[in-house]
Amino acid sequence: MTLPVLEHKISNAKQLLTPALLIFPEIVDGNIRSTLSAMNNNPDAWRPHVKTAKLAATIRRLTAAGVRNFKCSTTLELNTVCAAGADDVLLSHLMTGANAARLKEIAQASPCRISTLVEQASQIPAWGGSKVGLFIDLNPGMDRTGIAVDDVASVVALARRIVAAGIAFRGLHFYDGHLAHLPFLQRVSKAQQGYDRLIATINELVRNGVEVGEVITSGTPTFLAALSHPGFSGQTFLHRVSPGTVVYGDRRSAAQIPDKYGFRPAAVVLSTVVSHPATHLVTCDGGSKSVSADAGVPTCEVLDRPNLKPQKPSEEHLPIEVTFGTSKPAIGELLYLLPNHICTTINNFDRAWWIENDAAQRSEPVTARGRETMACDHTDHT
């Protein structure tokens, strides 16, 4: 992923309160085109995860490009993506209790086709009589959720229980995010070994009379490995990949995706230098409450300033080491920070500045930031 030169593009940057989230819609559109190009320009092969996009304004750019199927993690994201024109949305989380009740309410009222995940038979009754379809969540070795991909007997039994309950069995969900840290060629090899195991499980389901409609794999680190895997071609099931970070890009994905694919970072945090605490240090207002620290330190890269090395942040402050022999940025100078992890950084902001025609033109709400907070009474009083 190519890192852009950004500062000269924003003529009114000094008028913005910092820290500020900046999004470049022309680059967003370019990243959407690059993703679709990798899929032979077939938008039906993409089920992007909107935990990254978050903004209705961005999701509408995806739907305008023909992308109609999505993944999300929260009911707020679900409402946002349905309102932005989605046809089919998977809430890719294991939902129980009030969360499950809320999902059923949304599905009942929405024209979108909505589904969620299950991993054991005890979760099936919650979805009986609802419009929610079910995918079986498989564990490819990430050990976060799901049935082990090689536990064919359990997968077959669970699929049969879903069908017997009169609920739509939509297919299989296989997220191999645990491979993200590997170098590209090793990541491709490991991912494709996992897809071999997945396809063997699918074949066993079919032999046991279970129809698999859709198979969802691969976030941003592995989607290219999935698209190039020959085992997904010529199958009776529909295979979709679900990269979401590609829409904006970040420091991690810049290292994960070869430059030849044409992706560019489309979202950065504008920050102001506020202090010179030591000879070799400056501090800006890009702390962990703006640039997320969940992906480790350094939390970001200072674009166009390789002599500046971000250190461990506090909540509101980011100390930056200045390489020996180079000049320090002045107090009041603006810095453009490319986050390690854009998904959680986007969630830190209520609004984002839309950068068009070399200026911050307007702010757009980060529509799906946070979560719904309603309380529901689903007690049966009969």
pLDDT tens-place string over residues 24-55: 999 999 999 999 999 999 999 999 999 999 99
| Cβ contacts of 64 within 8 Å, gap of 6 or more | none
327 neighbors 348 (Cβ within 8 angstroms) = no
Exposed / middle / buried, residue 125 (Cβ in 10 Å: 0-12, 13-18, 19+): exposed
Residues of the chain with pLDDT under 50: 5, 7-8, 377-382
Look at residues 38, 85, 49, 40 and name the one whose alpha carbon lies nearest to residue 66: 85
Task: Give the amino acid at 287.
Answer: G
Determine what percent of the chain is predicted with pLDDT higher than 90. 92
Identify the pLDDT of residue 380: 40
Q: What is the DSSP letter of 330?
A: P
Tell how many helices (H) and how many strands (E) occur in the chain: 10, 17
Multiple choice CATH, 26-250, 1.10.357.10, 3.20.20.10, 3.10.450.50, 2.40.170.20: 3.20.20.10
3-state SS, residue 205: helix
pLDDT tens by residue, 222-279 = 999 999 999 999 999 999 999 999 999 999 999 999 999 999 999 999 999 999 999 9
- Helix pair angle (56-64, 75-83), 10° resolution: 50
The predicted structure's pLDDT at residue 381: 34
Report residue 223: phi and psi, to 5°. -65, -30
Specify the pLDDT at position 6: 58
Q: What is the pLDDT of residues 328-339, one digit of tens each?
A: 999 999 999 999
Domain ranges of the chain: 26-250
Q: Are 275 and 287 in contact (CB under 8 A)?
A: no
Q: How far apart are CA 127 and CA 168, in angstroms?
A: 10
Distances in Å between the alpha carbon of 303 and those of 21, 253, 336? 14, 15, 6
**Taking a C-beta distance cutoff of 8 angstroms, is the pair 202, 212 a contact?**
yes
Burial class from Cβ neighbours inside 10 Å (0-12, 13-18, 19+) for residue 153 reads exposed
- The span from the CA of 348 to the CA of 342, in Å, is 10
Q: What are phi and psi of 52, to 5 degrees?
A: -90, -55
Tokens 């990541």, located at residue: 187
Rounded distance between C-alpha atoms, residue 217 and residue 49, angstroms: 11
Binning the chain into helix, strand and coil, the percentages to the nearest 5 are: 35, 25, 45
**pTM for the predicted model, two decimal places:** 0.94
Task: Return the pLDDT at 112.
Answer: 97
Query: Which among 374, 372, 366 is positioned nearest to 51, based on CA atoms?
Result: 366
Strands 308-310 and 318-322: antiparallel
Look up residue 278 and give its amino acid.
A
- Give the pLDDT of residue 376: 54
